[in-house]
Amino acid sequence: MDVSRETSPPDAAEAVFGDHVSAISAYVDILADQGVVRGLIGPRELPRLWERHILNCGVMAHALDPGATVADVGSGAGLPGLVWAIARPDIEITLIEPLLRRTTFLTEVVDELRLSNVTVFRGRADEAKGQYDVVTSRAVAALDKLVRWSMPLVRPGGVMWVIKGSSAQSEIDVSLSTIRAAGGTNPRVKSYGDGVVETPTTMVTIDKVG
């Protein structure tokens, strides 16, 4: 298989990442190589890396406020945290991940790409310190669990962003009591990337009571 052909950036990459296409392409190349070797990305995902993972995360990076502080809970291979860090060098991102092999990978990527706006924290969300403007996660757990793990890390007046699929609204409906108990309010579903990518990204947004 020609990996370079599989991971070459699609037309939408420039619209989403602008001047940072070369940097995000370097990250994709690492995912397609060491990400697969280390079991962080399945080999069947290679043809879908850009559309299903990179663009899926990247289309909402523009919505982050300038200079925002962000925590990515259960960062895994760096999705969405590393994608946002590359797309938005002005923000500060902490990647929270409990597994050593994943934090080792994340640290190596940060060093190789010279990302000065990224901190890697090995541990669970309830072991992390500080509060953030935005706390995000993707493909980690059901919404009610994510609210319990993530909302304590959101500063008052901040927001929790969870990348979800078609079940987003139903997950909100069954998690309303958990959201309220955690200090969350105004849960809603937003869509990003319409007209830019083939499948827009669905995200649950929950505000933290100020």
Write out the binding residues.
74, 79, 138
> Is 22 exposed, middle or buried, given 0-12, 13-18 or 19+ CB atoms closer than 10 A?
exposed
Contact 62, 84 (CB under 8 A): no
Contact 106, 24 (CB under 8 A): no
List residues bridging with 119 in a β-sheet.
94
Read off the DSSP letter of residue 54: I
Place of tokens 């895994």: 76
Q: Which residues are annotated as a binding site for S-adenosyl-L-methionine?
A: 74, 79, 138
- Can you tell me the distance from the alpha carbon of 49 to that of 29, in angstroms, rounded to the nearest whole number? 10
- Can you tell me the distance from the alpha carbon of 183 to that of 113, in angstroms, rounded to the nearest whole number? 37
Taking the chain, what is the end-to-end CA distance rounded to the nearest angstrom? 52
Strands (E), the chain: 69-73, 92-97, 118-122, 132-138, 154-164, 184-192, 201-208
Query: At 6, which helix (H) or strand (E)?
Result: helix 3-6
